[in-house]
A = this chain, B = another copy of it.
Amino acid sequence: MRTTEYTRDNMVDLLRQHGINPTHQRIEIAHALFSHYGHLCADQVMAITNAKHSETSKATVYNTLNLFLEKKMIREVIVDPSKVFYDPNTYPHHHFYNTATGELTDIDVEDIGLTGLPQLPPGLVTEGVDIIVRVRPSP
């Protein structure tokens, strides 16, 4: 449960906390992701940041999203073979994916119990566990 206000000033702090130099475009992109608080894909981020009148290029949108990922300020959700979703919620959680509408909904990890994962072969380490529940409108 988040109560923070997603002002541009707070975005600056957030960027700094992740070791990211807060430039104008980065602040706008962070603001788009966090104020919208949902699961956006790159073209939606681009549309939102360019909605008013400022210009942010496609290259910068992708550069920035990949930088945010690298610095773990956001995470990606891979459920659709044709595009990546970017998720401002980096707290571990899972997803419902509505295959008819493309809508993603969070599932709190507290609720979930997952047991019986096999031992990893030696030399491997777990990066994360993604649970995706694919849903669609009943017929």
Contacts and interface: CB of A to CB of B under 8 A. Distances in A.
A129 to B, nearest CB: 5
A132 B133 contact: no
A129 B127 contact: no
Interface string A111-126: 1111111101001111
A11 to B, nearest CB: 25
Range for the number of chain A residues in contact with chain B? 35 or more
Contacts of A123: 137-138
B114 A113 contact: yes
A7 B131 CA distance: 35
Contact of A78 (B76, B78, B98, B126): B78
Contacts of A78: 78-81
Contacts of A132: 129-132
Interface of A: 76, 78-81, 83-84, 96, 98-99, 107-108, 111-118, 120, 123-139
Q: Sort A-B residue pairs by CB-CB distance and give the 9 closest, nearest first.
A: A113-B115, A127-B134, A111-B116, A125-B138, A124-B135, A130-B132, A112-B116, A81-B84, A128-B134
